[in-house]
Amino acid sequence: MSIDINTVRKVAKLARIRTTDADAEVLSGELNNILSMIEQLNEVKTDGVEPMTSVIEMNLPARADEVTDGDMPDKILSCAPEKAAGFFVVPKVVE
């Protein structure tokens, strides 16, 4: 598998990371290096081995359905660049 410069541009755009053409060129090389290293893992025989999802054998922890959080609009809005009447205010996004 190889990552060309167009793939780098596409991924950067999806991730909202501004990337110049020069950066993309460098990143393409770096990402290919990383991928080829990871590709060595393909040599390991994994037939019949379940994917490991946690280092400890445990189930997904769950909580009871109780209201234990929220009711702190000032704190929630404290980092907002702009706010009004209890709302976050952002540049207009209309479809």
Partner 1 sequence: MAHALLKGETGDWEMVIGLEVHAQILTKSKLFSGASAAFGAAPNTQVSPIDAGFPGMLPVINELCIEKAVRTGLGLNAKINLYSVFERKNYFYADLPQGYQISQYQHPIVGEGEIEIDLPDGTTKIIGIERLHVEQDAGKSLHDQHPSKSYVDLNRSGNPLMEIVSKPHMNSAEEAAAYVTKLRAIVRYLDTCDGNMDEGSMRCDVNVSVRKPGDALGTRCEIKNVNSVRFVQQAIEYEARRQIEVIEGGGTIKQETRLFDTKNGTTRAMRSKEDAHDYRYFPDPDLLPLKLEQSFVDDIRKTLPELPDAKKKRFIALGLSNYDASVLTAEKDRAAFYEKVANNNDAKLAANWVTTELAGALNKAGKELHDSPVSAEQLGGLLKLISDNTISGKIAKDVFADMFESGKDAAAIVAEKGLKQVTDTGAIEKIVDEVLAENPDKIAEYKSGKDKLFGFFVGQVLKKSGGKANPAIVNDLLKKKL
Token representation of residue 83? 């706010």
Of the pair 43, 66, the CB lying nearest partner 1 is at: 66
| Phi-psi sector, 82: left (phi>0), alpha (psi -120 to 50), beta | beta
d(CA 48, CA 19): 41
Of the pair 11, 23, the CB lying nearest partner 1 is at: 11
Query: Smallest distance from the beta carbon of 49 to partner 1, in angstroms?
Result: 15
Query: Smallest distance from the beta carbon of 41 to partner 1, in angstroms?
Result: 17
d(CA 93, CA 89): 11
Binding site for partner 1 (CB under 8 A): 10, 13-14, 16, 53-54, 58-73, 75-77, 82, 84-95
Of the pair 42, 53, the CB lying nearest partner 1 is at: 53
Query: Smallest distance from the beta carbon of 82 to partner 1, in angstroms?
Result: 8
d(CA 33, CA 22): 17
